[in-house]
Structure 1
Amino acid sequence: MDKIIDKYLDEIITLDLNSRPIKIEPEMADKNADQYQEWNKWFPIKSTVTDKELQELEKEIGYKLPDSYKSFLKHKHFYEFYIAECSFCSHPVNTWRVELMKMIFNDYPSENLIETGRIPFASWSDWGLLCFDTTLKCENFEYPIVLWDHEVYDEFQLQYENFENMMIELAQEHEEQRG
């Protein structure tokens, strides 16, 4: 899975898509950039996320996270990361938890998602969110991934067997779209 993450983060940089109109965390910022630019370059860096922080996050959201997703969070920090139609929650070095909590609890009404056992972690095109579905049977908290359409708040469409399979399938889909 790390190879997939690295490949698509490298692609973002190669295509020069690693700029945002926001202040970038110093650890991730372009050291040679003009500080008065409107758009600022960022670069992925090795993650600083700890097991203790992940345990605290799980306690706060009330659900265990899949080990595969925790490995994802512990691999690299980034501002934007997407594969095919999937755009993952921003994961900057010092504010990753704030960004993820915002997606889980504030981006859409929590009574439609986290309070029903669906943990959002990525956007899907302009449709809605990809969520871990804690209500479906799984082994070792490797929950199935469902798509929640923001226009149909009470329906969830099964998308992927689990997070690791999702990453593999997204990479395949992305390569197929390129031709």
Structure 2
Amino acid sequence: MTHDHAIKEIVDTYLQECIDAGINSISGVEIEMIAPNQDSKEKSLLWLPIDSKVTDAEIESFETQLGHRLPTDYKVFLKYKHFYDLYISEASFCRHPVNKWRDHLKKMIFNGWPLEYMLNKGYIHFADWSDWGALCFDTSRNSANNDYPIVLWDHDRPLEIQEIAPNFFSLIIKLDKEHKEMTIDNQEE
């Protein structure tokens, strides 16, 4: 199985879990993502994931603003689906709606946690961890193809960084495994 296929399969699994659990309702849904048969005048609407419209040119423009290249596997992720909520294990990925994905990612990176603890140290925030941390690409340890290690930054201990995975693909696989193990543990209780 290729990295692309595995990433897409895992994303599909957890987007479907979100829909099945009925937690795919928010206000301000982009029109292309509104689930059918709803009154669009309602404040909160059901959203459905759609195929991504992210282009290589948009990603390159974003990378220029960021000052760093993004990992190839993360680009596959960005170019696969648009969504509002994606939870895998303890990770909550940055909202990725059609038309506004860059705005959400910029807000997370540039206006989330203090830059002196994050971006200025080479940590690019792309997902939240539980309610206390941030998953980040560690660009200070650049590797071939920008396949950065993934670190966990704890907002209560901003100077301590924990390495979580060697790269984005490994993170996705690890999160999927952890989620499945938690599900099995919960069923056994």
Q: Normalised by the shorter chain, which TM-score bucket?
A: over 0.9
TM-score, normalised with respect to structure 1: 0.96
Q: 1:160 aligns with which of 165, 172, 180?
A: 165
1:43-54 alignment runs, 5 A limit: 43-54=48-59
The residue aligned with 1:105 is 110
The residue aligned with 2:4 is none
Percent identical residues: 48
Structure (1/2) with the larger helix percentage: 2
1:1-179 alignment runs, 5 A limit: 1-20=7-26, 22-179=27-184
TM-score, normalised with respect to structure 2: 0.91
CA RMSD of aligned residues (A): 1.0
SS at match of 2:102: helix
Give CA deviations for 1:33-75 in whole Å, capped at 9, x if unaligned. 1234332110000000000000000000100100000110000
- CA distance 1:101–1:137, change in 2 (3 Å): closer
Q: Which runs of 5+ in 1 are unaligned?
A: none
Q: How many residues align?
A: 178
My pick for the range that moved more, 134-143 or 80-89, is: 134-143
SS at match of 1:122: strand
User: CA separation in 2, counterparts of 1:33 and 1:83?
Assistant: 28
Give CA deviations for 1:56-99 in whole Å, capped at 9, x if unaligned. 00000100100000110000000000100000000000100000
Give CA deviations for 1:132-168 in whole Å, capped at 9, x if unaligned. 0011252211100000001111221101111001001
User: CA separation in 2, counterparts of 1:66 and 1:88?
Assistant: 16
Amino acid at match of 2:24: N
Name segments (4+ residues, structure 1) moved above 4 Å: none
